Structure 1
Amino acid sequence: MTHQAQAYIQTLLPATSSKIVIESRTLSKSEERVLLNSLKSDAISYIYSATISVGDATIGINKQLFTWATVKLYYATFYALRALLALDNIVSAQ
């Protein structure tokens, strides 16, 4: 899954940036707008992934594959929480 917000930030801050450079960097209004749009797009992708994972878990339960279903529900929770973070305009590192 491509995380658009993370990819955008990486274009703004090279991987070799020091902690001081990163902490002192302020986004321009246009950069902020792009980042917020990226977060919204990421949230949609995370919600889709969470939904698919719940569906996979349901299939696993119906087939009595309970360990598989548990793993899929774990991922559904992970994706749902990432969606909530993105919708709250919080960028999470991978």
Structure 2
Amino acid sequence: MELVFLPLLILPFRWKNYDLYDWAITVFYVSYACFLVTAELPQNGRLGHFYLGIPAFSYVAFIFSDWQTHYPEKYVRVLGGLGVSIAYISLLVFF
């Protein structure tokens, strides 16, 4: 479960360009990752995809929302925040 900290490797390279929302989602993601590492989760591949893959991809999509041009940056940031929030809320409710 320590792989949840892998997207935080972005931080040393992009911290100068962060605004308030980037720092807020980073603090939220770090709190999620710390809670996930300490939680007692059953070993299941589907739970791993939900609790590792979706929040990590959502965090990276939030931070690098300017890399894609098909959708507005605002929508990608909202979806990234929702991905981390939904996984965190379900982790708090179920475990």
Name whichever structure is richer in helix by fraction. 2
Q: Give TM-score, length-normalised by structure 1.
A: 0.40
* Higher Rg of the two aligned structures: 1
